[in-house]
Structure 1
Amino acid sequence: MTAPFKLYMTGDLVLDEPNADFFFDKTRPLLAEADLLIGHVEVPHTTRGQESVGDIPAPASDPENLKAVGRAGFHMVSLAGNHIHDRGGEGIEDTIANLTAQGIVSAGAGLDLAQARRPALASRGGLRVGLLSYNCVGPKDGWAGQKRAGCAYLKIITHYELENANPGGPPKVYTFADPDTVEAMQTDIAGIRDRVDVLVVAFHKGVVHTPAHIAMYEKAVSRAAIEAGADIVIGHHAHILRGVEVWRGKPIFHGLGNFVTVTRALTAEGNDNPVRRAWAEKRKALFGFEPDPDYPLYPFHPEAKNGMVAACHIDASGAISPGFRPIWMTPTGQPEPLGADARGRGVADYVAAISHKAGLKTEFAWEGDRVVFKGA
């Protein structure tokens, strides 16, 4: 029997600390299993450019740190997100050039909108894989234009509706994507569909630091991508896992959470940037959590210690068996792979719980050390 092609996809990569290779060490055997490995680079790696204004900019990371991504075995990365433009066009240009020099192809950002919408393409083991990447969360200053560097995007509209006699009380929140940008995404998908065997669409989406919750637009845009021809949809941005589902036979990973995401920029103590320090304090009140003090490089929601690597197996006929490998974030900031033991089952149970809480009906089973989706 021919072994399946293994397509693995990870959560966010934020490499703000020196000796970046260290943070991948526990997962190297797992990552080496992949025939093709996809990640998401969250911030620019550059020494150039001016820090952006208008949102909460992330600090640019050392270009040397990005080289750890190639040494960890990544082949493709998505770039569309709310921080990739935080050092303007120079930061995007330098980040893409750094990746290209490592042989890593990227999608989702560029020096203009045409470049940002251009797919990443890779062929390995006789399988042609394509990747498209879109930012759903803003800020508008980071969106690419006809002559402006930035990222590919979907414009999401938010409407608040008061549904009882309580002015100033909690509203119901409606979110939906601007149809023109959805159509543009579907045009991109149609344009690449015949050139690849497997097409992955990555969305930067969701409400940060909030367990289980999937906003209204997230299901709609993910399903629209599949209906247009995507084979797999993955999500980043929330910095915490989201549920998974199967739509028309295709898997949607609504949020892969964090992978190597080490930073001090979201810690209030010792933060010399007043804007980032204020946000580090505000987000704890907004989202109701306190980072674990034993995790100095990982200032995220305590439930964000649960993690996964999406692990899709593709057989000779092209059929996709979706699943994931559980991981756990350690105090050092290193993700640790887990198997089908009590700890791994705890993470799998967490994924099942948040999926069902979000109204997704996915059921799971174990296949060795991989959690698979029943019926997919």
Structure 2
Amino acid sequence: MKNIVKNLISIVFYCSLGAITATLAQTSETSVQRSKQVSILFVGDVVLDDLPGKAIEQGEDPFAAFEKIFASADIRIANLECVVATTGKAAEKNFTFRAHPRVIPVLKKHFDAISLANNHSGDYGPTAFSEMLALLKEQKMAYFGGGNNLSEAHRPHIIEKNGMRIALLGYNEFMPRSFEANIHKAGVAWSEDEQVVRDINAARQQYKADIVIPFMHWGWENEMTANQRQRQLARIMIDAGADAVIGGHPHVIQDTETYKGKPIIYSIGNFMMDALDNEAQTLGWAVRLHLDQNGVKAWDTSIAKINPEGTPAPQSNTNSPCWNKTTGLKTSCENTQIP
């Protein structure tokens, strides 16, 4: 009888231990799922062909002042507003930008990927654009928003970080449209609405992305608020499944809004260039999104003030916009370098 009781006690003990172990394992798994968090930082137009390019040639790093702010994010993204090449012929337009290949290691030091979808990456023609793609691939500098053909230009760049898959798409919709990639020509991704929707769907379904963020090149220069086309397209992208929309090109900071609980930041302004026309063009944002598997839970900004040499410096004593999904309110936060 004693042996029977002893065996029953042992069975109950081990069953209870198994249940506790299973519960702890499940709790641990849930905790891991909840802890999936990533921060991603975007900066606006970066032109490296003139004074910033000469600084790099002389061994200087024009991004150095932002190193601490860059280090506060898991992922860093920029719009490269020039072609990087030694070949090609300048297009017939007011401004053409071509940087030397020596700038690529500096870009790679600070950024995880760059967008090529803009109105200057084609300034020296398809040959120079193709040279840039080859140089970037050779030095393992990731890019998106451009490619050797239409399919490659519209392919999302996938970044895996902290157990999450983040898809980045880049689009230009500012002339000249001749820079657009086609089936047989290298170039940038153009933002045809139907194609954008297909790309976002493909990022989710084909590439299994948890988060999808389009980085846009749109709007009119020097306008401080987004126009109707920007607002319309932003909504189309979020309706298609984008988690946030980040924009640039107007060379000034524009307004922001929230649509269906998802942030739209219409223009983050310039970040590095010396061809500036007015005071508003000397200011830009480094915007940092805080993500979990459900999307953007908050964003904050650091102001970049560009000097006459085209080099940005953070304005640590100035407050700038921030947003939290919990409150749904945009407020003003300390322009900080908090990790």
Give the alignment partner of residue 198 of structure 1, picking from 211, 215, 222. Answer: 211
- TM-aligned CA deviation for residue 133 of structure 1: 0.9
Give the alignment partner of residue 245 of structure 1, picking from 257, 262, 270. Answer: 257
Whole-angstrom distance in 2 between the partners of 1:107 and 1:333: 24
Contact 1:35 1:125 in 2 (8 A): no
Give the alignment partner of residue 363 of structure 1, picking from 319, 330, 338. Answer: 330
Give the alignment partner of residue 39 of structure 1, picking from 55, 78, 87. Answer: 78
Matched, 1:141 2:155: no
Please name the residue that 2:301 is paired with.
Answer: 324
Whole-angstrom distance in 2 between the partners of 1:3 and 1:32: 19
Q: Which structure shows the bigger proportion of residues in helix conformation? A: 2
Indicate the SS of the match to 1:99: helix
TM-score, normalising length: structure 1:
0.72
Superposition misfits of 4+ residues, deviation over 4 angstroms: 1-4, 316-319
Indicate the SS of the match to 1:48: coil
Cα pair distance change 1:65/1:144, threshold 3 Å: same
Aligned residue runs from structure 1 range 59-208, under 5 A: 59-72=97-110, 74-154=111-191, 181-194=192-205, 195-208=208-221
Query: Number of aligned pairs?
Result: 293
Cα pair distance change 1:235/1:65, threshold 3 Å: same
Contact 1:25 1:334 in 2 (8 A): no
Give the alignment partner of residue 254 of structure 1, picking from 239, 256, 266. Answer: 266
Deviations 1:32-58 (A, max 9, x none): 2211111111111101122223x3351
Q: What percent identity do the matched residue pairs reach?
A: 26
Structure of larger gyration radius: 2
Cα pair distance change 1:300/1:197, threshold 3 Å: farther
Aligned residue runs from structure 1 range 264-279, under 5 A: none
Contact 1:308 1:324 in 2 (8 A): yes
Give the alignment partner of residue 19 of structure 1, picking from 43, 55, 68. Answer: 55
TM-score, normalising length: structure 2:
0.79
Give the alignment partner of residue 283 of structure 2, picking from 306, 324, 328. Answer: 306
Contact 1:10 1:308 in 2 (8 A): yes
Contact 2:197 2:237 in 1 (8 A): yes
Question: Unaligned 5+ residue runs, structure 2?
Answer: 1-30
Question: Unaligned 5+ residue runs, structure 1?
Answer: 155-180, 262-296, 353-360, 372-376
Higher mean C-alpha displacement, 188-197 vs 86-95: 86-95
Whole-angstrom distance in 2 between the partners of 1:335 and 1:95: 25
- TM-aligned CA deviation for residue 245 of structure 1: 1.1
Give the alignment partner of residue 311 of structure 2, picking from 334, 339, 352. Answer: 334
Deviations 1:278-304 (A, max 9, x none): xxxxxxxxxxxxxxxxxxx34232112
